[in-house]
Amino acid sequence: MAMAESYPGRSSLTSFIEKLGGKIRNEFNLEGTNGVVMFVKNNVEKWKSIPINLAVIGETGVGKSTFINTIRNLLDDDEGSALVGVIQTTKIPTPYNHPENENLKIWDLPGFGTADFPKSTYMKNIEAEKFGFFLILSSSRFKLDDVWLAKEIKKTNKTFFFVRTMVDRNIKDVNGRRTNKIPETKLLDDISKECRAVLRSGGFDDADIGLFLIDSHTPNRYEFGKLGRELINAAPEKKRDALTLSITTLTSEMIEEKKILLEKRIWYFAVSSGVVGGIPIPGLGVVFDAALLVEEAIRYRNQFGLNEKGLQKVAKWLKKTS
């Protein structure tokens, strides 16, 4: 089985072309047309086989379920969505697969300090080692327990972010009680300062505080998109492509990340097609173009939500947030 290649841009384009051309010729010599087709498919589909586990932690009522649904590009009433408004706290770690990639799992984790999950064994009981990222959610100011958890995660060298949820509701609540409205930018700055003050009091420097203000009902506002981009940037290189192609909540930041990655894939297909076209075997270029290039073009359309399912989703989001 052919090994996957890096996309151009992560090494020089010249060496990429030379290496890729050699691989394709070797595959053709060994396996013929089918070998070339499988080589390309293995490379462009490798992201689907990479497991990613994202942990979401927070008290009941902070918006965990809605966040989990939004990052999976689901509304709260869609089939397969996490239940919202459930009073009972999560009893066991519960995974939710992303609809576009079953290997991307977003986990709703139980809180700590209970009989089943005491602080002393919490990290062991949740099997912290299997998670690549931790998101600590709060709908108000963070607490010292949140700081304690972040410190425990830091000991494992895992990536974690603080996520302040429901900021849209908070802003409306404040200004709904006032005649003279406070500018949104001022309120967001106040929320950020309040959160950071608690985190600093727990021993975190500003450089260690990855804080994002979001509202899961309006992911195109505030910092939901920035959070998605930071998850990608913080991921090991082999997982960045998988996250970029899996996350289908189309904020402006995610659209830009997808654009960058898909441009790299275009280079990959252009080089492959050129090499295949140069092999003097009748029909080989046609097989490559028909079987793979059209399929890849459809994938690009789907990544940007430019299909019936995607457009229906956008319509539902607009209706919900109007």
Q: Report the pLDDT value the prediction gives residue 15, as an integer from 0 to 100.
A: 75
Among candidate residues 250, 266, 292, the one where a domain is terminated: 250
pLDDT, tens digit (0-9, with 9 covering 90-100), for 127-136? 999 999 999 9
- Long-range Cβ contact pairs of 296-303 (< 8 A, separation 24 or more): 296/44, 296/265, 296/269, 300/262, 303/245, 303/248, 303/258, 303/262
Residues 269 and 299 in one domain: yes
Domain CATH for 57: 3.40.50.300
CA dihedral 110, 111, 112, 117 (to 10 degrees): -20
Residues 86 and 188 in one domain: yes
Residue 314 forms part of a structural domain: no
Instruction: Report the alpha-carbon distance of residue 252 to residue 204 in Å, rounded.
Output: 30
Q: Please check the confidence at residue 148 and state whether its pLDDT lies above 70.
A: yes
Q: Please check the confidence at residue 122 and state whether its pLDDT lies above 90.
A: yes
Instruction: Report the alpha-carbon distance of residue 307 to residue 274 in Å, rounded.
Output: 29
Q: Report the pLDDT value the prediction gives residue 282, as an integer from 0 to 100.
A: 52
- Name the nearest CA neighbour of 44 among 281, 275, 322, 267: 267
Residues 231 and 258 in one domain: no
Residues 128 and 195 in one domain: yes
Residues 230 and 279 in one domain: no
Q: Report the pLDDT value the prediction gives residue 237, as an integer from 0 to 100.
A: 83
Q: Report the pLDDT value the prediction gives residue 88, as an integer from 0 to 100.
A: 53
Residues 150 and 241 in one domain: yes
Is the pTM higher than 0.85? no
Residue 169 forms part of a structural domain: yes
Residues 19 and 167 in one domain: no
Helix, strand, coil share (%) of the chain residues, nearest 5:
55, 10, 35
Residue 158 forms part of a structural domain: yes
Q: Report the pLDDT value the prediction gives residue 274, as an integer from 0 to 100.
A: 62
Instruction: Report the alpha-carbon distance of residue 239 to residue 259 in Å, rounded.
Output: 17
Residues 281 and 242 in one domain: no
The domain tally of the chain equals 2
Which stretches within 62-220 are classed as H helix? 64-71, 122-125, 144-155, 167-176, 184-201
Residue 159 forms part of a structural domain: yes
Fill in the amino acid letter for 224. F
Q: Report the pLDDT value the prediction gives residue 317, as an integer from 0 to 100.
A: 55
Residue 27 forms part of a structural domain: yes
Question: For residue 51, how many C-alpha atoms fall within 13 Å in the half-sphere facing its CB?
Answer: 6
Q: What tokens does 230 get?
A: 């930071």
CB 64 within 8 A of CB 36: no
Residues 269 and 224 in one domain: no
Residues 59 and 190 in one domain: yes
Q: What's the domain range around 122?
A: 49-250
Burial label, 267 (beta-carbon count in 10 A; 0-12, 13-18, 19+): middle
Q: Please check the confidence at residue 87 and state whether its pLDDT lies above 80.
A: no
pLDDT, tens digit (0-9, with 9 covering 90-100), for 29-54? 787 767 777 777 787 788 888 999 99
271: confidence class by pLDDT, cuts 50, 70, 90? low
* Mean pLDDT lowest among 89-93, 177-181, 183-187, 215-219: 89-93
Q: Please check the confidence at residue 270 and state whether its pLDDT lies above 90.
A: no
Higher-pLDDT residue of 11 and 318 is: 318
Q: Please check the confidence at residue 83 and state whether its pLDDT lies above 60.
A: yes
pLDDT, tens digit (0-9, with 9 covering 90-100), for 186-227? 999 999 999 999 999 988 888 778 999 999 999 989 999 999
Q: What is the DSSP string of 177-188?
A: T-SSPPPHHHHH
Residue 315 forms part of a structural domain: no
| Alpha carbon of residue 63 to chain centroid | 18
Residues 211 and 107 in one domain: yes
* Mean pLDDT lowest among 65-69, 189-193, 212-216, 310-314: 310-314
Task: Please count the residues of the chain.
Answer: 322
Q: Please check the confidence at residue 10 and state whether its pLDDT lies above 50.
A: no
Query: Rounded mean pLDDT of 166-183?
Result: 89
291: confidence class by pLDDT, cuts 50, 70, 90? low
Q: Report the pLDDT value the prediction gives residue 194, as an integer from 0 to 100.
A: 93
Q: What tokens does 241 get?
A: 């492509």
290: confidence class by pLDDT, cuts 50, 70, 90? low
| Distant-in-sequence, close-in-space partners of 56: CB < 8 Å, separation ≥ 6 | 64, 67, 68, 106, 107, 108, 109, 135, 137
CB 275 within 8 A of CB 25: yes
Residue 172 forms part of a structural domain: yes
Residue 96 forms part of a structural domain: yes
Residues 30 and 71 in one domain: no
